[in-house]
Amino acid sequence: MSEENQKAVSSYDFSQPAPESEAVDVSYFDDAAFVGDSRTDGFLIYSGIGRGKNLTSNGLSIFKLETKKAITIDGQSYTLMEALALEQYGKVYLSLGINELGYYDDEGFYRNYCEAIDHIRELQPNAVIYIQGLIPVNETLIAQTTGRTYLTNDHLRVYNDLMKKAAEEKQAVYLDLYSEFVDENGSLPADASKDGVHLRSAWCKQWLAYLETHTVDYDTLYPNGAPQPASAQGETQEGSVEQ
């Protein structure tokens, strides 16, 4: 079925973030894979989730998702996408973007995100793909600790818009974590993080509570099956942008 026809029959509005839903039990994540960077790694460690496949790498960017040998399994090195292909999952949570904020390659970021969604769908045709929007940062704490002043909420919001656009185009579920964590000043609250980027345990638990109350069934999204990824339609994908 073509992507256009799929859009006509799905009742889900891919142009909007996932709406709040009835809370699921934590066992919902038994067949989930979490693909991301150190923020996601911290979430898996400190949220208490206790399940789901950890496919994360510190410092990972969407530009290196297909090329960086980031994980070792039984003595063999894999990219996270190669590792994702080793098992089948019911849900894939993708969360990348923080490490890309200093690249100022918005077009490349969007293109690579779309390609990543296509590849995940090719590898995991029966999975709900969740695109996790970026949680805000606290720029004051960043300046006081790491000095990574290129990590700004202004650029972060641009990337969230691009991720939301990619989710709509590729019919994935966008999760608006930014709105869940932003304070009245458009920032991550100071008590949420030591360094302005990575969340403290209590806030990782809030992250988990958000995921538990923002889920969508596969059959609701794709009553006639998920759309074919671009590569399966014979389109030529461009290579990743090297940074």
pLDDT by position in tens, the chain (length 243): 445 444 446 789 999 999 999 999 999 999 999 999 999 999 999 999 999 999 999 999 999 999 999 999 999 999 999 999 999 999 999 999 999 998 889 999 999 999 999 999 999 999 999 999 999 999 999 999 999 999 999 999 999 999 999 999 999 999 999 999 999 999 999 999 999 999 999 999 999 999 999 999 999 999 988 888 876 554 433 433 333
Q: How many Cβ atoms sit within 10 Å of the Cβ of residue 220?
A: 12
Could you tell me the domains of the chain? 29-223 (3.40.50.1110)
pTM, 2 dp? 0.91
Residue 168 and residue 211: Cα distance in Å, rounded? Answer: 19
- Amino acid at residue number 125: P
Exposed/middle/buried for residue 58 (C-beta within 10 Å: 0-12, 13-18, 19+): exposed
Residue 198 and residue 13: Cα distance in Å, rounded? Answer: 31
- Amino acid at residue number 234: G
Residue 35 and residue 42: Cα distance in Å, rounded? Answer: 12
Tokens found for residue 42: 């911290």
**What DSSP assignment string belongs to 188-227?**
--GGGBSSSSSBPHHHHHHHHHHHHTS---HHHH-TT-PP
- Nearest residue to 142 (alpha-carbon basis) of 105, 190, 178, 186: 190
